[in-house]
Structure 1
């Protein structure tokens, strides 16, 4: 495919912003979302550098009405063209949580951002997805139930475990249209969330993730993979 139409959430910084950079470098047409587009300065600079190939939409994935609004706005930039790739990247991590002191609000925030938002967005834009399109849900190895051996980042882990179920359910719902859906763990990456001590640069992680997405077929739809394409346990 010479050019893909790609929608990516949480694109104002970190892994999301690096996805935008690399997708634009490949010649793709990108619709990027951010909660506060006016404050997404790096993203807006890219808009100026790539006129007509990058559009920025406001989206707070915690607001169910916002996903429907994105679906309504897509024709304004795509016309009759479909979307070929959805990357559900927006995520939320509450740091410093301790057992016995985890507030309900943290659980609600994490579920709405990390699981509910991606599900509702995929559901809202499904009519705009091309047959044979791909959906990449950015999860984490912390969402692996099988690998959990300690108490840490509980609301984030719970939200990402729920997102992994979203992947399995979407894979089943979209199979008849040959739309492959996958959960992707980006590795421990040098971002605001991952910290400066992380071993992976965003450029390296995203390059690997795009290779995994490019190679994704229906045989691997519903899988839980890392940035190198290795299968992770649920």
Structure 2
């Protein structure tokens, strides 16, 4: 990996996405931060003043192919390539109960959590440098091996699908030594994780970045947790 990485983070306006942006900027990297509504991303926009020339905030709805096309068109204006792609954008419909799960929740979840990362990576593949990293932010809820109760079904199904996306992308990009990872960040204190979660955003990001930084081609396509341990599929 180069000393200054060229990075793109989706869902960067809050939570883990914003945490990734802050961490990457602090270590001197150049970052393209995407979110659906940049004008509302107050914390993200404030960082542009603190890091002039190294942070570009760009609109992206990962569930909209036209938005992905627009990103690809704009990308050469802000960078000459990518060393790290973090597919972080995600959606969780809370409070789902068996017997009343709406079909629309599956549509939303699969489009954002599984189809989105695939299409974004596919579209950006020509811009990925040899040896680049693609980090797909997954969840233990997407692991059938760790399933212990009925909870958040549309999120769980979409994250399981995203794990297959990781495996497929790993095969597609292996010839260029691009390493694609599915990463379980653990239970993190975000809007999605809640205030009782085990880890702070900073703790989670530092741990995840260590896993990303130390990954080798032998790790391509693996499902790992924040400690670098294998997660059962």
Pairs within 5 Å for 1:20-35: 20-35=21-36
2:13 is paired with a residue of what secondary structure? coil
Give 2:206's aligned residue.
Answer: 207
Structure 2 distance, partners of 1:141, 1:82, is 31
Structure 1 distance, partners of 2:78, 2:131, is 21
> Superposition RMSD on alpha carbons, in Å?
0.6
Give 1:150's aligned residue.
Answer: 149
Structure 2 distance, partners of 1:41, 1:90, is 17
Give the length in aligned residue pairs.
Answer: 232
1:124 counterpart = 2:123: yes
1:124 is paired with a residue of what secondary structure? helix
1:146 is paired with a residue of what secondary structure? helix
Pairs within 5 Å for 1:1-234: 1-78=2-79, 81-234=80-233
Structure 2 distance, partners of 1:101, 1:209, is 35
1:168 Cα deviation (Å)? 0.1
Moved more, 57-66 or 5-14: 57-66
Structure 1 distance, partners of 2:145, 2:77, is 44
1:147 Cα deviation (Å)? 1.3
| CA deviation string 1:6-36 (max 9, x = no partner) | 0000000011101000000010000000110
- Give 5+ residue unaligned stretches, structure 2: none
TM value normalised by structure 2: 0.99
Give the ranges of 4+ consecutive aligned residues of structure 1 lying more than 4 Å apart after TM superposition: none
- Give 5+ residue unaligned stretches, structure 1: none
1:149 Cα deviation (Å)? 2.4
1:128 Cα deviation (Å)? 0.5
1:12 is paired with a residue of what secondary structure? coil
